Amino acid sequence: MFPAAASAEAPLDAQAGAALARLAKALGHPARVRIVETLLRRAGCMGADLADEIGLAPSTISEHLRILKEAGLLTGEIARPRVCYALAPQAVLPLLAFLTRVAESPARALDGDCRP
């Protein structure tokens, strides 16, 4: 589902960049970060349980769960009439690899010339 991380020398292609942006965007809301953090502590959780624990309306939680699931960060197992959500930790590996590249890159001073 997600492209493999590029090597330190190779630039990201458009598809890999878009996949990283989707992951970052999905994690770019405090409520979604709280949902992920809650699911880190639990094997699986129903949306209503997350709403109670996090303190948001069920409809709000449902929308955040949809966004996280579309980004591939969650799986949802139907347990009629509800859905049990769990983390899909492997989904963050491309983002982790990219951020590791950023963190490990040497700092570069600007010398007034932004050309390669």
42 phi and psi angles, rounded to 5 deg:
-130, 145
Quick: pLDDT tens for 22-75. 999 999 999 999 999 999 998 788 999 999 999 999 999 999 999 999 999 999
Which residues, listed in sequence order, are joined to residue 45 by a DSSP beta bridge? 85
Q: At 19, list the tokens.
A: 């996949």
> What is the per-residue pLDDT for 44?
83
What architecture (CATH level 2) is domain 14-102? Orthogonal Bundle (1.10)
> What is the per-residue pLDDT for 85?
93
Higher pLDDT, 55 or 111: 55
Q: Where are the domains of the chain?
A: 14-102
**Does 3 score more than 60 pLDDT?**
no
> What is the per-residue pLDDT for 1?
44
d(CA 81, CA 39): 20
Give the distance from CA 83 to its chain's centroid: 20
Quick: pLDDT tens for 64-108. 999 999 999 999 888 788 889 999 989 999 999 999 998 988 876
